[in-house]
Amino acid sequence: MARRQPRVVAVGDAIVDLVTPPLPPIPPGDFQGHVPGVDALPGGNATNFALAIASLGARTSFVGAIGVDPNGAVLRDAYRRHGVRAILRVDPRRPTGATMALTWSAGGRALITALGANASLVLRDVPSRLLEGSDHLHRSGFWWTQRLIGRPTSLLLARARRRGLTTSLDVSTDPHGWPEDRIAAVRACLPNVTTFFGSEVEVCAVAGRSSPIEAAEHLRSLGPEEVVVHQADRGATVVHRSGRSTSAAFSVPIDNPTGCGDVFNAAYVYARLGGADLPDALRFGNAAAALHLRDRRRPYPSDAAVRRLARTSTRP
């Protein structure tokens, strides 16, 4: 979709996901299960975003923090293989961040994260020169990069906007359950955000509203040009100054439910940077997320693969 390769910077979490194949429901109490294998996959919202948008064709830089351990090597290798320029703070005292990701065959998952070295990432780890000549800054892994929560993220986004970049923010679910001060930390960033992404639960929590569309409208009034709501197997909706658009999800088997939101975000941003209108960008995002969802061996689809699926019907 892009006329020239867009230049994108992602700032946020570097995490290794330990992922099981989708499991049947687990009864309460003691349980002994077995799986053919547990995969150690690159994860973390910002890492997923960077790997996904690089695979689509963007020239991508990632800024994050890792430890000195085998999981750190897994991530370095993933950035290198996907052509992502990784600018990494290396913390010798903390392990690389890790998430246990139990996924269920009926959809959904339980994600348990130890943030590790992500705790040491600070604003000065983002080189100012990195923003020069870039088109877009994406910020995610908000809660896991705890020294960037609130004001530092707001300053970073403002710096990017002043240099003419568009920006996006996806804070994901607050592991502390959305206390007021944490909601305020998200809202403080909104005046400097072009595109705010969130699931229905997340936009409702940040906006303090019970209807996701009303929540998105309200959040837009706090700064962002557009608010994009992830709606799982129903697709996605964008609320923009010019109106609202919804696009249905593609029906695919569920193999890899972790990271769909990040891959969606990468594809949506990539499409918008290439000049796509709202319905086309949503459709491109839904198609990319569906390809991620159906095949954990190829989690980051190419531009050509996404376009192919986007040309097909969303009806099963």
Stretch that binds Mg ion, among 24-32, 146-154, 237-245, 257-265 (CB under 5 A): 257-265
Q: What angle in degrees, to the nearest 10, is found between the helix axes of 200-207 and 212-221? A: 50
Q: How far is the CB of 52 from ligand ATP (least distance, A)?
A: 11
Stretch that binds ligand ATP, among 7-15, 113-121, 181-189, 227-235 (CB under 6 A): 227-235
| Largest pairwise CA distance in the chain | 55
Contact between 228 and ligand ATP by CB under 6 A: the answer reads: no
3-class secondary structure, 170: strand
CA dist 97 and 120 (Å) reads: 11
**Could you give phi then psi for residue 175, rounded to 5 degrees?**
-65, -15
Contact between 95 and Mg ion by CB under 5 A: the answer reads: no
Nearer to ligand ATP, 162 or 298 (CB): 298
Residue-wise DSSP of 254-305? -S--TTHHHHHHHHHHHHHHTT--HHHHHHHHHHHHHHHHH-TTS-S--HHH
Q: How far is the CB of 303 from ligand ATP (least distance, A)?
A: 17
Contact with ligand ATP (CB under 6 A): which of 137, 290, 306, 309?
Answer: 290
Contact between 289 and ligand ATP by CB under 6 A: the answer reads: yes
Contact with ligand ATP (CB under 6 A): which of 203, 216, 249, 291?
Answer: 249
Question: Which residues, at least 6 apart from 185, have a Cβ–Cβ distance to it below 8 Å?
Answer: 149, 150, 151
Nearer to ligand ATP, 65 or 101 (CB): 101
Contact between 113 and ligand ATP by CB under 6 A: the answer reads: no
Q: How far is the CB of 67 from Mg ion (least distance, A)?
A: 25
The H or E element that residue 113 is part of is: strand 109-114
As given in the structure block, the two tokens for residue 231 are: 């709606």
Q: How far is the CB of 169 from Mg ion (least distance, A)?
A: 11
Contact with Mg ion (CB under 5 A): which of 113, 172, 194, 258?
Answer: 172
Which residues, numbered 80-109, are part of the site for ligand ATP (CB under 6 A)?
107
Q: How far is the CB of 218 from ligand ATP (least distance, A)?
A: 19
Bridge partners for 43 per DSSP = 15
Which residues, numbered 152-181, are part of the site for ligand ATP (CB under 6 A)?
172
| b/e sequence 45-66, b meaning 16+ C-beta within 10 Å | bbbbbbbbbbbbbbbbbbbbbb
3-class secondary structure, 109: strand
Alpha helix (H) residue ranges in the chain = 45-56, 70-81, 128-131, 151-162, 180-187, 200-207, 212-221, 260-273, 278-294, 303-310
Contact with ligand ATP (CB under 6 A): which of 153, 199, 245, 256?
Answer: 199
Select the binding partner of residue 264 from Mg ion, ligand ATP, none (C-beta < 5 to 8 A, by kind): ligand ATP
Which residues, numbered 255-284, are part of the site for ligand ATP (CB under 6 A)?
259-262, 264
Contact between 261 and Mg ion by CB under 5 A: the answer reads: yes
The residues of the shown chain that bind Mg ion, judged by CB under 5 A, are: 172, 261
Which stretches of the chain bind ligand ATP, using CB under 6 A? Answer: 107, 172, 199, 230-233, 235-236, 249-250, 252, 254, 259-262, 264, 286, 289-290, 293
